[in-house]
Amino acid sequence: MANAALRSGRKPEDVKLIAVSKTYPAEDILEATRCGITDIGENKVQEMCSKKPFLPPELNIHLIGHLQTNKVKQAVTNARMIHSVDSVHLAREISRVSILDGINTEVLIQVNVAHDEAKFGVEPNQLDDVLGEISTLENITVRGLMTVPAIETDINTTRRYFRALYNIFDKYKPLPYDNVKMECLSMGMSGDFEIAIEEGATMVRVGSKIFGTRNYNV
């Protein structure tokens, strides 16, 4: 991570590592925290909630998987940041629950920069309307953008997706909305986090390179 940041003329400390701990127990997360991890990512709300009581309160938990509206209450209560807001409808529900709970929820807008029908996310040409509508909501703050690009064997294609999202991210930085602040760009996983950093990521979501191969039958 540090080398990739330096190659792109950035400071290593400007990129946050989110250790993706899905399918791994709280004991393994605690070991990661002893090694210096301060932020973890979980894909499923139920799994996140089951682990949280066993984790240190200062650990930042990021929900990075798809969020259904019927699980917003749990997500808002337990996650430090929600990376996967993919519709105004979902943002409205997060706002509603956050108002009731008297808190402000930080989110990222998931962008389907690869136009992949198998992925969730807002199409880039919809972002104007989506950000404009979210700007009218209370108790929700957009901190930036996130993407999960199509799985590619061609690193040049992956790099192109990341560069495209960075350009979108940069385009929306001057927005005058009080609750939209383009500060975080979440992209890159175990297989491509170095490319993501080189293309401007401020957060990378790394799982198997930290915890090892996942056993989805657990």
What are the domain boundaries of the chain? 2-211
Residue 17 predicted with pLDDT over 80: yes
| Percent residues over pLDDT 70 in the chain | 97
Residue 75 CA to residue 72 CA, distance in Å, equals 5
Distances (CA, A) of 173 to 104, 107, 168, 176: 21, 15, 9, 9
pLDDT band of residue 153 (cuts 50, 70, 90) is low
Q: Please give the average per-residue pLDDT across 163-177, as a whole number.
A: 96
Helix, strand, coil shares of the chain, percent, nearest 5, are 40, 20, 40
In terms of Cα–Cα distance, which of 69, 75, 89 is closest to 137?
A: 89
Q: Please give the average per-residue pLDDT across 164-185, as a whole number.
A: 96
Under 8 Å between Cβ of 89 and 126: no
- Domain 2-211 in CATH 3.40.50.720? The answer is no
> pTM here?
0.95
| Percent residues over pLDDT 90 in the chain | 90
Assign 85 to helix, strand or coil: strand
Residue 218 predicted with pLDDT over 60: no
Annotate 145-179 with b (16+ C-beta within 10 A) or e (fewer). Answer: bbbbbeeeeeeeebbbbbebbbebbeebeeeeeeb
Q: What are phi and psi of 39, to 5 degrees?
A: -135, 135
- Tokens 């946050």 belong to 16
pLDDT at 217: 60
pLDDT at 200: 98
Amino acid present at 4: A
How does pLDDT run across 101-129, given as a tens digit for each residue? Answer: 999 999 999 999 988 887 899 999 999 99
Under 8 Å between Cβ of 67 and 84: yes
